[in-house]
Structures are given as C-alpha cells and as structure tokens.
C-alpha cells in the first residue's frame, strides 16, 4: 500500500501566527503561546503550538493552517488503496510534550475519504499522537500485526465508544462514538475518534470534512472522557475546537481546557 509522505522540515516564518511571535503575544498576560514546527501544506503553512498558563501548565495544544494551505492540496490517486491520502507530520513544542501525553500531530488529507462509506468524502483529520513517529512507523496492518487487535482496558475508553474494526497501518485501531451523527444515518461533518495500539491509547483525533472547514466554523465540542487515564500526572483535554480565526485568516484545530489527571 502506497502512502504519500511529505518531507519533514521546519520552515522559519518572518511573522508567526496571529500576526505576532511569542515574544509579542497579545493573549492575556497570564498565558503564553509557544509555537513549534511549521511545515508546508498545500500552498500554505501548518504550525503546531501550545498555550501555557501563568504557572507554565498547558491549557491548550493545536495545529493551525494558513488559508492558503487548503489550496494546492494533492489530487486523488485513483490507483491508491488509501485513495490518495497524504500525511503531514508536525512536531509539538517541547513544553507540550513535557506535561501532556502528546508527542506530535499528524494531519491527513483524504481527497476521496476512506471507508466506512459515510467517510468517503473529501476530509482532513488531525491525529494528536501519544506515541513517537518511530513507534508509529512500526504499526503494521491488522493481518501482519497482532498487536493491532489488543484493545485497551475498557476504563481507558469512553463508555460510548465502540470498535468498528477500522485498523490502519501506521495509525492503529480507531474507536468511534456510537452516538455520532454519521453512525446514525446523518451526514458526516465532523467527529472525534480515539485510537489505540497494543492495548494503549495512541491518539485522539478530530476529523472533519473540507466542506465543513471551508464554512469557517467557530465550534467547540466536549470530549467524552474515559473513567481512567493510562499516563498519570499529565494534562488531558476536556474539549476540542475547529474554527477559523478571521483576524489571522487561519484555520485552527485544538485540544482545549487541559486538566491534570
């Protein structure tokens, strides 16, 4: 199976997101936003970031895309089993890795979508990985890699999440909220997925259609929490946002309202 992987390198920007760098941040004095890696996506740029409170604890992490990033994305590859999916890997700032379980972000562009059928529309997703890129690369398919089928203890997943047997190499097993609109006969616009591998929670994933993103949303949703967390003493999100910031002309996908677990 072919998977297009863009080169990983940092693009240094003269002007960072929201029209300023972290030394001139216009956010409230009690908070500080630190920017991480920036990479080319489409005709634009995607960048990672973390916001810290006055005590240096994370309140939110995310990825932001300039509006040009949604133009010039690769066209579908009709001979590709993954329907032309393109993967962009973005490292998180060290300050995010130190106090959250997250290591890096993988933004996937799916120009034809992917199975199940209700996801076969052009969409993007943002995997907030709790494993390293090297660990991610070692994940095989559900036939060759028996660790794919080892589920986490139920207490580490929200009660409403089910295994739909969507098992993807270099990602892991995908768990879906059984009450998601698209699983109940409604149109898919956005959804939130948990991922696992070898019995461990491996990622959290907001997934959203290109049509929804281009509508310039300003939406925040609750994240259904598990009863317990595998990695203790770290900050986990209670909400996620998908929004367009008209001032900076950027699309922002974030995990917010971090809480110590």
Report the candidate in 60, 55, 56 with the shortest Cα–Cα distance to residue 239: 60
Give the alpha-carbon dihedral of 80, 82, 83, 85, to 10 degrees. Answer: -110
Bridge partners (DSSP) listed for residue 87: 5, 108
pLDDT digits (tens, 9 = 90+) for 173-208: 999 999 999 999 999 999 999 999 999 999 999 999
- CA-to-CA distance for 194 and 159, rounded, in angstroms? 12
Euclidean distance between CA atoms 239 and 11, whole angstroms: 29
Q: Using pLDDT thresholds of 50, 70 and 90, give the confidence band for residue 75.
A: confident
How far is Cα 176 from Cα 158, in angstroms, rounded to an integer? 10
Cβ-proximal residues to 14 (8 Å cutoff; 6+ apart), any chain: none
d(CA 120, CA 76): 12
254, 22 contact by CB (below 8 A) = no
**What is the reported pTM?**
0.87
More confident residue, 24 or 165: 165
Greater pLDDT, 206 or 142: 206
- Name the residue ranges covered by the structural domains of the chain: 4-260
How far, in Å, CA of 192 to CA of 100, rounded?
Answer: 19
């Amino acid at each position: 199976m072919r998977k297009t992987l863009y080169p990983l390198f940092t693009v240094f920007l003269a002007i960072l997101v929201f029209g300023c760098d972290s030394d001139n941040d216009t956010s409230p004095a009690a908070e500080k936003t630190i920017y991480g890696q920036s990479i080319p996506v489409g005709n634009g740029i995607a960048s990672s970031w973390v916001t810290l409170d006055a005590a240096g604890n994370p309140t939110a992490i995310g990825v932001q895309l300039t509006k040009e990033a949604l133009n010039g994305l690769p066209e579908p590859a009709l001979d590709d089993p993954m329907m032309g999916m393109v993967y962009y890997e973005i490292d998180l700032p060290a300050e995010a890795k130190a106090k959250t379980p997250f290591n890096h972000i993988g933004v996937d562009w799916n120009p034809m979508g992917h199975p199940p059928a209700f996801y076969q529309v052009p969409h993007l997703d943002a995997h907030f990985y709790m494993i390293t890129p090297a660990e991610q690369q070692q994940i095989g398919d559900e036939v060759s890699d028996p660790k794919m089928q080892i589920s986490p203890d139920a207490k580490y997943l929200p009660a409403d999440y089910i295994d739909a047997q969507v098992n993807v190499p270099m990602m892991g097993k995908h768990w879906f909220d059984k009450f998601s609109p698209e699983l109940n006969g409604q149109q898919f616009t956005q959804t939130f997925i948990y991922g696992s591998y070898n019995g461990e929670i491996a990622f959290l994933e907001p997934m959203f259609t290109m049509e929804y993103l281009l509508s310039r949303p300003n939406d925040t949703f609750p994240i259904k929490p598990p009863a317990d967390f595998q990695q203790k003493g770290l900050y986990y999100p209670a909400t996620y946002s998908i929004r367009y910031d008209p001032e900076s002309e950027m699309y922002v996908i974030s995990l917010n309202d971090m809480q110590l677990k």
